Chain A
Amino acid sequence: MAGHTETKHTLHGCSIHIMRGGSGAPLVYLHGSGGGGLWLPWMEDLARQFRVIVPEHPGFGRSDTPEWLDGIHDVALFYLEFLAAENLTGVHLVGGSLGGWIAAEIAMLDASRLKTLTLIGPAGIHVPGVRKPDLFLWSAEVLARRLFHDKAMGDEAAKRAVDPAGDDVRMKNIYTVARLAWHPRFYDPLLMKWLNRVKLPTLIVWGREDRVLPVALAQGFVERLPQAEIEIVPDCGHLPQLEKKDIFVERVRRFIAGSGR
């Protein structure tokens, strides 16, 4: 077991919570709408090969909610400052869902510290005619269940989602999600125009049965990132890194190895 440590980092008046494990080339993971703060088995797997760094975004979990947090660009620019403050280069940037959106924004704004980009069921791009479900009309329980294709995993997640012990963090997280993604709903017109600036080796992973951000949205990324490899994971919902952990970890390793690391 590589294990992990937890630290705080304060930048622009905002203290964020960070988990770190393993050694090697830096791999930064940006979590999704549900929040971060849990060191998960797939992180442990990747920490055998990489120096895995997992921050909680401003406005989520144990991180502060700064006054300046108005939109997705604030988060992306905050992370560019963070990468600089940590003096990270050659970063393998991985983001899931909302975190995939943030990762794409970072890469669009300034890819100079990045080596590869992995987007897992990312938000951020609207594809005309593709209707996204309205997460803000779902209860926490319904949302948790629909994250997964596997029924047992969904039931388990739904059970956790109604535990009152998690209420405070859940409310804080969903508040920030609304702050960032209410309108336009989970996308950024600027990213739609300029994502094609990104020339990094890119991997897009999407669960074929994703009920949160439908796989049809992948088209919007493929069009703008023609160099991207795309992996559609069968029998899998919104979180391949949890639902199909081994496939996900193996695919990321292969992608990074093939990108001339």
Chain B
Amino acid sequence: MKFFFFHLMPYAHLDPDYDKTYATDWLLYPNSNYDPLKGAELYNRYLDEIEYADTLGFDGVCVNEHHQTAYGLMPTPGVLAGALSRRTKTAKIAVLGRALPLLNNPLTVAEEYAILDNITRGRLIAGFVRGIGVEYHASGVNPTESHDRFHEAHDLILRAWIQPGPFPFEGKYYHFDYVNIWPRPYQQPHPPVWIPSQGSSETIRWASTKERRYVYLQTFSPVTALFRYMDMYREEARKSGYEASPDQLGWSITTYVAKTDEQALKEAKPHIEFFVNKFLRMPMEMLLPPGYLSLSSMKGVAAAKAGLGRQRTMDELIEQGQFICGSPETVRRRLGEYQDRAGFNLVLPNLHFGTLPGDLTRRNTELFAREVMPALRDRLPAGAREKARA
């Protein structure tokens, strides 16, 4: 397994009673509730936590992108990645955003990523996403154009990286007479591309094809969904004429390690429940604007998300595999079990979540790095182990 420390940078001072007045901490929750003095502390603390992960030997660190919310303070993740690019030394930096359809000029991302890739001498991992539904409310971009804009923006960026410029790009949403970006990416032909998703079959099919073979990341979802979508990826790869490698599959999983199971459960409970019940709170109309998913996907996802407003407990999250929590032994065992069933080789532990304080975040990160990672480093999924022996 390879390990990528993942931080969501929430506004941890969110009023726990905000939901008595507001239905959500996204989009409509007034930003007068953001205190810049507290926010400045958080940014610096969070960046320290990510830099610390670099010194502890994580293979990479990850930032992400959401807009107009207390859930995460990284609307322009490139700025955070830029801050990290000079302070981290060995970890890859994965930007698990750039919501391409929201952009009027995707070349800005081609440029931004190329700069990061140069400064870090090739440590950049380029994430491309559509953004979750609420971003279409925040940006005004038409959600019915989301898939098409994503594909077109992606094609433009990849061509800008690979094809010698200047050349024209003729698309429906993006049309440029001159594509000729400076700098070009450091990694040739281009930085690795990762595609985080909640599990859209259209996205999985697109990412898995033979000519792309992009890394697919399953984000916050029950393990039943993880298994289904990783199977789907391998199946689509087979249809496309090749066998997907475990290194093409990643799982973003909130994780907490302490000396004993009891201690871990006790310490994590208020913070993981704050994360899921306060930060993630959002009405269905925000999460799934019309056209964000195809009509056929929409029905299934709407049914799956039906319990969105329901309060959830830590025990439920652990049972459904949305949270791994316990002693190093417990965490190692569960990661191993899930790896064997799902077949991923990339793990993106969210070692900070919700309101988890700085001292617990550091201890969690240390224990994970020292007591979990070494034992699993050379571990492959069950099927891949057999193949490696044969």
Interface residues of A (CB under 8 A from B): 134, 136-139, 167-168, 171-172, 174-175, 177-179, 182-183, 185
Contacts and interface: CB of A to CB of B under 8 A. Distances in A.
Contacts of A138: 285
B303 to A, nearest CB: 10
Contacts of A168: 295
B22 to A, nearest CB: 13
B144 A182 contact: yes
Nearest to A185: B140
Nearest to A178: B290
B258 to A, nearest CB: 41
Given A174-B290, A178-B289, A179-B291, A137 B144 contact: no
A168 B298 CA distance: 10
7 contacts: A168-B295, A171-B290, A171-B299, A172-B295, A175-B295, A178-B144, A182-B142
A138 to B, nearest CB: 7
Nearest to A140: B285
B142 A139 contact: no
Interface string B285-315: 1100111000100110000000000000000
B141 interface: yes
Interface of A is mostly: helix
A137 B291 contact: no
Interface in B257-272: none
A140 to B, nearest CB: 9
B285 A139 contact: yes
Q: Which of A137, A171, A174, A183 has the most CB of B within 10 A?
A: A137
B137 A137 contact: yes
Contacts of A174: 290
Give 6 nearest A-B pairs by CB, closest first.
A178-B290, A182-B142, A174-B290, A179-B144, A183-B140, A175-B290
A175 B298 CA distance: 11
B298 A137 contact: no
A171 B286 contact: no
A171 B289 contact: no
B326 interface: no
Contacts of A137: 137, 283, 285-286
Interface in B143-162: 143-144
A179 B285 contact: no
